[in-house]
Structures are given as C-alpha cells and as structure tokens.
Amino acid sequence: MGIFDDLKSKLGKGYEATSQKSKKLLDISRLTLQVRGKKEYENELHMRLGQSLYDRWDSHGNLEMTDRTRSLLYNIKDLREVIQSMEDQLTELRKEEEQTISSHPTLNRTATPSPQTSQTISYSERHTIPLPENDEKLQDSRRTNDTEEVTAIQSHLHGVQNENVPAQTNKAWNQEPSSTSWESWEGQGIFLCPHCGKEVKDTEQRCLHCQGEIYS
C-alpha cells in the first residue's frame, strides 16, 4: 500500500502544481489585457490634454491653467499610478510562475521527437536523395553489360545472315546476270528453312540442319 500511497501523493502534488500554474497563467493573461487597456486610455487622455491646451492657446493666446486642463492632469497622474501598480503585480506573478516551473520540471517538459519520427522521409524527399557511390557504379556496370549483350546479339545475327545466304546468291547480286544465267535460273527457286535460314529442298518436310518442321 505504501507504493500506491506514494503514487497518489505524487499525482496529487502534480495536479495541484498544474492547477496553480494554470491559475497563474490566467491571472497573467487577464492582468496583461488590463494593463494594455489602461495604457490605451492614458494615450487618449494625453491627446485630450494636448487638444485642450491648443484650444486655450488658439482662443486666448496663452496657456493658462483651466479647470479642464487641471482635471485631465490629475486623471493622467492617477491612471499612471494604477498602471504602475498593475505592472508590478504582473512582474511578481511572472516570477512566481518561473519558480513553479523550476520546482516542477515536468510541467515544462517539451516533447522530443522519437528516432523513428525524426528519420521519417517524405515521398518527395525519397525521390530527391542521390544514389550512393556504390549504387551508381552498379547502375553503370549494368548499363555496360546490357550494351555489350545487345552488341553481341546484333553481331551474331549479322553473322548468321551472312552464313546462311548462299555464295551463288551473293555472287548473283554483285554481278550483272547474263542472258545465259537468266535462262539457267528460269523456272528454278531456292528454298530456305524458316528456322535456321539454311537452304533445303522443296520436297523436304523437316530441315536437315536444325530438324525444324517445314510447312509447305
């Protein structure tokens, strides 16, 4: 029971300190507004006093003390004393508040961001973070490998095409055919395998080179 009593006592003291702090804050806010209103009224009395002195000088050519001027001066003096008293009271309340905070540090505890919160990165920030040096090297190596693979495939295809085309056909393309050659070619044709591109007979249904089926 001693632990619970101690906890209850601490909670009670904390609640009491919080209540006192809230009350002081309310008193400070209320008194600050009152001082502000008094000062605004004081400025208004100063303007009235100046206007009264100017009217007296404008109409009589002198600054003789009148009942109105004397009344304004006394009002300003009394108001100044009230404002000074309120400011002294406000200073005292602020000192008490500082003492309360210093004696109860938990009342002025500020929330510290957790590591998870402080390390949270927004979606736009994630896409603006530069890649590390290792990642950049990996990207460059991948691009280089892709380029080499494409070049190798193109070279292989070019070699296959040159290998599959008959020499006689290449020769026929490079030389102008004579009348006798045209006669020898007339009625004849060359059949190529659709899979490997090599020459086959027109009667064959399966390529002898790649064993692929030939559809007539």
Query: 152-170 pLDDT, tens per residue?
Result: 666 666 664 555 444 444 4
CA–CA gap between residue 98 and residue 16 (Å, rounded): 16
Cβ neighbourhood burial of 193 (10 Å; 0-12, 13-18, 19+):
buried
- Residue 49 resides in a domain: yes
End-to-end CA distance of the chain: 101
Find the mean pLDDT for residues 18-28. Answer: 76
Q: What is the domain range of residue 86?
A: 2-107
Let me know whether 7 and 93 are in one domain: yes
* The total number of structural domains that make up the chain: 2
Of 89, 88, 136, 101, nearest to 20 by C-alpha is 101
Q: What is the pTM of this model?
A: 0.40
Q: What is the pLDDT of residues 80-123, one digit of tens each?
A: 999 999 999 999 988 888 887 776 555 554 444 444 444 444 44
Quick one: pLDDT band at residue 150, thresholds 50, 70, 90? low
CB-based contacts of 172: which residues, under 8 Å, 6+ apart?
181
Considering the domain architecture, whether residues 6 and 97 belong to the same structural domain is answered as yes
Q: Is 65 inside a domain boundary? A: yes
Provide the total of helices (H) and of strands (E) in the chain, helices listed first: 7, 2
Q: Is residue 170 part of a domain?
A: yes
Q: Count the residues in the chain.
A: 216
Element spanning 191, H or E: strand 191-192
